[in-house]
Amino acid sequence: MKSVAGITIASLGLIIAFFVAGNAYKYKYKTTENILVTGGAEVDFVSDQIVWSGNYERKMMDLKSAYALLKNDENSVRAYLSGKGIAQSEMVFSAISIDKEFSYHYDENGRQTSAEFTGYNLRQSVTVDSKKIEEVEKVSREVTELIESGIEINSSSPSYYYSKLSELKIDLLAKASADARLRAQTIVKNVGGKLGSLRKSSMGVFQITGQNMDEDYSYGGSFNTSSKNKTASITVKAEFALD
């Protein structure tokens, strides 16, 4: 009797073990039934901030005279920009850089034989950071008018920025996440399944490119500053469980 009872208990234990192991396997198998999708969103926007810079210089044998001329140039540039509608608070003038320049002489073997001092070269730049995009664009094109007053100023191309980029990025993230869920629902629905809960998600690359430009996307994300009209795009990778 004892041996029969022992066999019965052992058999029952074996059945329970198989049942538990079977359910564990089914649960493990079920948890691996996921779907991975990538959602995306983009929006066109117009920059609301512009940064422009120009530089000018003076070269003379006498340092004091060159410095005085450059300070007069600074005052002329400041007055010119004010006349174009640029506020003093939107202008930043750099410190003056001073370089000693020489003319070098060489012999027939290419060895330097002497150096002749040719003067002091003093440089300064001005940077304008403003919301007045049209006014600053006009300045960047017309600032060479200062050449008529003896100031040789070189104008750089403006750079364009957007002051509400953080808010724009958050809005794009929400739209890209919603797009990822919609893609997953569409795929699962068309194969007769049911979408479960979100398991994990991650933000992809955030890009800012110029509109109507043949501009390549960058693996690390591009940030266009040369175009006033831009397009921002973002991707979101999401993994959902399947019910």
Q: What is the pLDDT of residues 105-145, one digit of tens each?
A: 999 998 999 999 999 999 999 999 999 999 999 999 999 89
Q: What confidence tier does 179 reach under pLDDT thresholds 50, 70, 90?
A: very high
Q: Which residues of 29-50 are buried (b: 16+ CB within 10 A; e: fewer)?
A: eeeeeebebebebeeeeebebb
Distance CA 44, CA 35 (A): 30
> Rounded to two decimals, what is the model's pTM?
0.78
Contacts of 13 (CB under 8 A, 6+ apart): none
Which one-letter DSSP state was computed for residue 110? S
Q: Is the pLDDT of residue 189 over 60?
A: yes
7-11, 89-93, 158-162, 180-184: which has the minimum mean pLDDT? Answer: 7-11
| Contact indicator for 49, 129 with CB cutoff of 8 Å | yes
Mean pLDDT over all residues of the chain? 88
